Structure formats: C-alpha cells, structure tokens
Amino acid sequence: SKPLVAIVGRPNVGKSTLFNKLAGVRLSIVEDTPGVTRDRIYADCEWRDRRFALVDTGGIEPYSQDIILSQMRRQAELAIEKADVIVLVTDLKSGVVATDAEVAVLLQKSGKPLLLCVNKCDSIGAPPAEFYEFYNLGLGDPIPVSAAHGHGTGDLLDAVYDLL
C-alpha cells in the first residue's frame, strides 16, 4: 500500500491549512479555535512520480489534562505509529514554544523519518531572524512554508519525496 505521511504539531500552527494545500482540496476543518481537528483525515497525494497518503491530525499536548486534547493526542500518536514520514509543523508567529520541544522529543523517539516545517513564513525572500530559532529543536534544517499562501510547499513535498 501507499506510504503514509502524517502532519503533526500543536493546535493552531496551521496543520489543516497545510493539509488542504498539499492535498489540493478543502477536506479538513480550519478554524481559529485551537484543536478543532478531532478526526484524522486522509487524502491521496501524488508528487513527481510517487504516491502517498497524507493524514491531518489534531494537536499533540503531552501534558494536557483536557480530555479532548488527550483524545487528539492519542489520534496523533496512532498516526505516528502508522506513519512512514512525519512532518512536524511549527509556527513562525509564535516562535519555538515548550510544547514544540516536547513534541520534537516525542517524535524523535518514534525513530520515524521526520521533517520540521515552520509555517506562517508569509513574506517572500530570506526568512526573518526568528526562523533560525527553530534550529534549536535539533531536527535539522527547518523548512519555511506559508500554508496560507502556498509558499514553500513544493520544497516541503520535495523533502517528503526524498524520505519516501
């Protein structure tokens, strides 16, 4: 069967927006309310000569007591269990937050091929200084993307392709 690429990260970083952009369809729910994606949503994707399934997940909140968030975490962990490639999405606007570091550790432990995506890099040209903070997550070169505008999604797909 097709390899599975999972989009994970904390609520509101733009996972569903990215999913929709990559899938080229509006299937996922995008809301300002954090953690609105409660179900895993799949799309069949094709990039260059490879096909893969893409899955959108809710956010990961490792230390949250909240039942909805812990349910979403379980969904994300399920996706992690099944994924061949994981894309950790972070947010330039909020910068690196503690949860990103926690999730990065969780994902590194999964041993799966992993990409670090910095979303909301909306302006064209050299990334702003804050972008370089994301190197501190220790996941290699962050990939700047604007899911809203579509900038960088081709580079992200190329990086996914290389790991398939």
Q: Is 120 annotated as a binding residue?
A: yes
What region does 110 belong to: left with phi over 0, alpha with psi -120 to 50, or beta?
alpha
Return the closest-CA partner of residue 40 out of 57, 61, 28.
57
Residue from 27, 148, 163, 164 touching ligand GDP (CB under 6 A): that is 148
Three-state SS for 1?
A: coil
Return the closest-CA partner of residue 44 out of 19, 81, 80, 15.
19
Which residue, 7 or 115, is less far from Mg ion as judged by CB?
A: 7
Please tell me the total number of residues recorded for the chain in this structure: 164
Using CB under 6 A, which of the segments 27-35, 46-54, 71-79, 153-161 binds ligand GDP?
A: 27-35
Q: Does 57 bind Mg ion (CB under 5 A)?
A: no
Locate 5 and state its tokens: 């690429």
Helices (H) and strands (E) in the chain, counts: 4, 6
Please give the Cα distance from 107 to 7 (Å, whole number).
Answer: 12
Q: Is 117 annotated as a binding residue?
A: no
Residue from 6, 9, 13, 16 touching Mg ion (CB under 5 A): that is 16
Residue from 5, 6, 8, 17 touching ligand GDP (CB under 6 A): that is 17
Which residue, 14 or 142, is less far from ligand GDP as judged by CB?
A: 14
Which residue, 64 or 164, is less far from ligand GDP as judged by CB?
A: 64
Q: Does 11 bind ligand GDP (CB under 6 A)?
A: yes
Least separation, in Å, of the C-beta of 86 and ligand GDP? 14
Residue 86 CB neighbours (<10 A): 25
Binding-site residue positions for GTP: 9-16, 56-60, 119-122
Binding site for ligand GDP (CB under 6 A): 11-17, 30-32, 34, 37, 119-120, 122, 146-148
